[in-house]
């Protein structure tokens, strides 16, 4: 794997960046869009961790941040690269862990009777932001796959479960759903 010994390389001054294997691609390529959005999501989860959170949510978010970094590395490495075997990859057990966390959180929540607006506590609002960034990651990954790029199918499953998890964790941060802000439809508010 390449070493990173200095920050300023000037390599991107012409609108290109290096993938893990050293190959150069345009900064606007779909691959870069996807792993750049994964990085953005990781930053949003870092913001969530700065808030007061229920139970062991901080530790779970830290684990997710590490897994998102792995995901970004996987997406920044072409499948046919000599480095592909050295990069951690998303696996089904990670997807299943998110499913377990999702089920545990849902058991603690008030039932949903309306659509919920992003907001409530700062932690909940930031988790809703993480949810929307995760959904964008999903859309960008689907576009990368549609372009013909080979991608581990667990990557999309992981992101799909993570967006659901951000939603239920946002509700947990809103007093287990009791402080959710419900959508008031129509002009008769």
Read off the pLDDT of residues 112-167 as tens digits, 9 standing for 90 and up: 989 999 999 999 999 999 999 999 999 999 999 999 999 999 999 999 999 999 99
Task: Identify which has the larger pLDDT, 21 or 118.
Answer: 118
Whole-number pLDDT of residue 36:
97
Residues 6+ apart with CB under 8 A from 6: none
Per-residue pLDDT, 187: 86
Q: Answer whether residue 5 shows pLDDT above 80.
A: no
108 alpha carbon, distance to own chain's centre = 23
Query: Is 4's pLDDT higher than 70?
Result: no
> With 90 as the cut, is the pLDDT of residue 80 above it?
no
Using alpha carbons, list the distances in angstroms from residue 84 to 62, 76, 89, 118, 173.
Answer: 25, 10, 9, 38, 38
Alpha helices in 49-187, H assignment, sequence order: 57-75, 92-107, 122-146, 153-173
Q: Which residues are registered as beta bridge partners of 25?
A: 17
* Residues 25-64: tens digit of each pLDDT: 888 899 999 999 999 999 999 999 999 999 899 999 999 9
Question: Coil, strand or helix: which one is 109?
Answer: coil
Tokens 């499953």, located at residue: 157
Q: For the chain, list the domains and their CATH numbers.
A: 16-180 (1.20.1200.10)
Torsion of CA 1, 89, 24, 30, to 10 degrees: -160
| Tokens 């953005």 found at | 40
Q: What is the pLDDT of residue 32?
A: 94
Q: Which residue has the higher pLDDT, 123 or 79?
A: 123
Q: Pick from 78, 80, 66: which is nearest to 158 by CA?
A: 66
Residue 174 has pLDDT above 80, yes or no: yes
Phi, psi of 17, rounded to the nearest 5 degrees? -140, 165
State the pTM of this model: 0.90
Residues 75, 155: contact at Cβ < 8 Å?
yes
Are the C-beta atoms of 131 and 160 separated by less than 8 Å?
no
38, 40, 1: which is closest to 144 by C-alpha?
38
What pLDDT is attached to residue 106? Answer: 96
Residue 108 to residue 17: CA distance in whole angstroms: 45
Nearest of 59, 49, 80 to residue 149 by alpha carbon: 80
């Amino acid at each position: 794997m390449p070493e990173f010994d200095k920050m300023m390389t000037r390599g991107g001054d012409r609108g290109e960046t290096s993938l893990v294997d050293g190959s150069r691609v345009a900064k606007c390529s779909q691959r870069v869009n996807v792993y750049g959005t994964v990085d953005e999501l990781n930053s949003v989860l870092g913001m969530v961790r700065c808030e007061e959170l229920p139970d062991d949510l901080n530790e779970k978010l830290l684990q997710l941040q590490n897994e998102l970094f792995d995901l970004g590395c996987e997406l920044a490495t072409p499948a046919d690269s000599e480095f592909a075997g050295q990069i951690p990859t998303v696996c089904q057990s990670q997807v299943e862990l998110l499913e377990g966390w999702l089920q545990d959180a849902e058991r603690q929540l008030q039932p949903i009777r309306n659509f919920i607006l992003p907001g409530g506590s700062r932690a909940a609002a930031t988790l809703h932001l993480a949810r929307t960034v995760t959904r964008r990651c999903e859309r960008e990954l689907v576009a990368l796959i549609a372009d013909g790029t080979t991608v581990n199918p667990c990557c999309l499953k992981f992101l799909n479960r993570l967006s659901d998890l951000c939603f239920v964790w946002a509700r947990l941060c809103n007093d287990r759903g009791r402080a959710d802000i419900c959508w008031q439809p129509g002009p008769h508010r």
